[in-house]
Amino acid sequence: MSQTIQDKLDYSDYRHIPSDGNRYELLEGALHVTPAPSPLHQRVSKRLQRILEAYFEEKGLGEVFNAPLDVILTNQDVVQPDLVLVTNPEQISSQGIEGPPLLLVEVLSPSTRNYDQRAKAQRYAVLGVPHYWMVDPDEHWVECYRASNAAYTLIIKAGQAENLLHPDWPELHISLSDLWG
């Protein structure tokens, strides 16, 4: 009797990974493991989450979620971004967020920087995530990208103590000095 070895993992495989304190993601069926984030990372993520909640949730425009939460983009693409903005309530299920949400935010860490900036960004664009933000708590900058033709274009970059004014949400003002605290 012969057995075949599965090349790529899918969501059913992912759901059977034991809970061991690590964060797991699937990109194109490949398993990625990331260590727990640092306190600085968590502080910046929490502060940005509060700002996004104040804008999107108070206006009834969407709901903001934070990691860990499965975002099931495809059966072989399951990620846990730091922040997720969902504007379509039908995407929220008992398993997580199903399909591409309006915005995914990654707060960069030394151990995940290249993965977030390259592999995840490329995959998010191909899978139709309209907006992707990267936040660097060490270098004090935020980059906001918008998808077009399965690729991202940098819309705005702000750093240090600048105010981030995103052209798609002109009433959303983010004082970056508030993020770095």
What DSSP line would sit under 131-175, residue for residue?
EEEEEETTTTEEEEEEEETTEEEEEEEEETTPEEE-TTSTT-EEE
Q: What is the pLDDT of residue 2?
A: 45
Q: What is the pLDDT of residue 5?
A: 52
Domain holding 44, by residue range, is 37-180
- 22-35 pLDDT, tens digit per residue, is 889 999 999 999 88
d(CA 56, CA 63): 7
Q: What total number of domains does the chain contain?
A: 1
- Rounded to two decimals, the pTM is 0.93
d(CA 15, CA 10): 9
The pairing of beta strand 131-136 with beta strand 103-107: parallel
Residue 28 belongs to a domain: no
Residue 127, token pair as written in the block: 């899978």
- 65-106 pLDDT, tens digit per residue, is 999 999 999 999 999 999 999 999 999 999 999 999 999 999
Of the pLDDT bands very low, low, confident and very high (cuts 50, 70, 90), residue 54 is: very high
CATH of the domain at 100: 3.90.1570.10
Residue 12 belongs to a domain: no
